[in-house]
Amino acid sequence: MPSARDVPWWWWRQWTWPEEAPPSPLPHHGPSPAPAPPGGGIFRWLHRDRDLTHTSVAAIETAKNNAWLSLDRKTRARQFRALVVVSLRVAALTRKPIPLGRLGPDLYSTPDRNAAGAAIARTLVLLAPPRLRPVSDIQTDEASPAQGALEAGIIPVTTVLLVTACALAAAYLATVISQAVHVVNFDDEVTARLLAVHAQALEILSIHVERERVAGHELPFDETERAWLIGLEDAQRRLATMRGRPLPSPFHGATQFARAATGFGAVALVAVAVFLLMSRNNGRRS
């Protein structure tokens, strides 16, 4: 299976660095999208990283190898924020310049593409508390705590519109990760496995969309790609069950994969690969 290092660097930059002018700085109203009464306007999460491309690739490798706890606190926060940004971009399954955080069934031409985008987005929703509502714009800078205004115009700023459950979860996780080390339990086996499969799915979908760019049209998922995505759904279902939660919907109209269409052999192969991956990483840490 190709790794993040096999993806063309210029193309990773397209995913992680939107072609848009940096927004004007906004007044800071608070670091966390805490629950608030319904209503209000559209809020944004602004994130800045001086090297988002390389940070994103490093984050995917960290997640695949379950190496989060080997990083210092600042590096872990910076990489996890980058992973969240890339997840939002990949979940759209397109290179078209759409606003980050805007996900919905109208983006996807087939149920499988909808399910693939939803699977990527759902990981973030599972890791965050339910029923989040924004109360202000949120601003983060690499690994620094979410406070103060960013200087726009010097370093590009990634803007995420907090309009879906996935975007709200992303903003929440990116905000608190630098302040609460255990907001994501990286040492929990189920969570670690979910993040490892999630990172692999990011690579698979990124490479798939690049193949579509070269071909000039959409391509169906092959059996192995589909099996990995179903494996991601299974990892999400396992974490949701452990937490006593139903499998969440990351955006309106999100769907799940129909299992009958994928052969048992491919799914079993993915399950064995994930088991060996996690066993190897646990052996390294012991």
The token duo for 181 is 């080390």
Q: pLDDT band at residue 195, thresholds of 50, 70 and 90?
A: very high
Number of domains in the chain: 1
Residue 16 has a pLDDT of 47
Residue 39 has a pLDDT of 44
Q: What is the pLDDT of residues 22-52, one digit of tens each?
A: 333 333 333 344 333 344 467 899 999 999 9
Give the β-pairing of 138-141 and 44-48.
parallel
Q: What is the pLDDT of residues 132-166, one digit of tens each?
A: 888 888 899 999 888 655 555 556 788 999 999 99
Q: Radius of gyration over alpha carbons of the chain, in Å?
A: 18
Residue 273 has a pLDDT of 56
Task: Reply yes or no on whether the pLDDT at 17 is more than 50.
Answer: no
CA dihedral 144, 146, 151, 153 (to 10 degrees): 90
Range of the domain at 10: 4-285
The count of other CB atoms within 10 Å of the CB of residue 251 is 23
Beta-ladder partners of 138: 45
